[in-house]
Amino acid sequence: MSRSAARRMIEEGSVRVDGTASSPAHKMRGGERVEARVVEEGLEPEDIPIPLVFEDEHLMVVDKPAGLVVHPGAGNRSATLVNALLDKGIAGGEDPERPGIVHRLDRDTSGLMVLAKSEEAYAGLV
């Protein structure tokens, strides 16, 4: 988490020290209890065109272009392959932020990616 994000949480009242809303100026002392309420921002489906190479009822193979981030991370919550997969209803896997993804390619790398379209396919591929 960035400092600015932590500061914003404090200013919004999402951080408490010993049960009391804190301020950015608060100096911590030993033994204090800090509680933070973190709200996860959900991922939004996005209609991003991804070249489809193969698809059946279990798998999908796409041709990931260079420049496309595979999964969301700091500074990349949208315009990722995951956002495109959510738009296409792809699910599978243990992490909702990686639906069907069984491997990855770096942002600047293009290439084929195999994606699981079901929990069964995912389990068979990992």
Residue tagged active-site, from 18, 56, 87, 106: 106
C-alpha dist (Å) from residue 77 to 7, 14, 62, 125: 20, 21, 20, 26
Question: Among candidates 114, 52, 54, 46, which has minimal Cα distance to 81?
Answer: 46
Q: Examine the residue annotation and report whether 63 is marked as an active-site residue of this protein.
A: no
Task: Look at phi and psi of residue 92 and say left if phi exceeds 0, alpha if psi is from -120 to 50, else beta.
Answer: left
C-alpha dist (Å) from residue 46 to 25, 86, 108: 40, 7, 20
Q: Residue 16: how many CA atoms within 13 Å on its side-chain side? A: 6
Active site residues: 106
